[in-house]
Amino acid sequence: MPTRKRTTAHRRHLIGSSWSAAVPVERDKHFRVVGVRTVEDGDGSQERVELEAVLSRRRVEVRREELDDRSKWLPDWR
């Protein structure tokens, strides 16, 4: 039986979800998803996720696929 790549939740379920950075981003570790958008580029379209740090309110944007990489992001707060 082939293994399926684990993917993040459906777009509407991402909004408001909590994530922990495996390695702190500018001293922030805990984030909440505040937006999801589709970006058109030369290779087609990509979904981008906007994360807001819980303490500093700083925002970072990552490709949605990065949330599947457990060496970078962990679901929920840890």
pLDDT at 35: 95
Structural domains of the chain sorted by starting position, each given as residue range(s) with its CATH number in brackets? 14-75 (2.40.10.170)
The three state secondary structure string of 2-45 is CCCCCCCCCHHHHCCCEEEEEEEECCEEEEEEEEEEEEEECCEE
pLDDT at 18: 96
Quickly count: other Cβ atoms within 10 Å of residue 33's Cβ.
20
Q: What is the pLDDT of residue 17?
A: 95
CA dist 78 and 1 (Å) reads 32
Q: Mean pLDDT of residues grouped by 10 in the chain (78 residues)? A: 54 90 95 93 87 97 94 92
What is the pTM for the complete model shown? 0.81
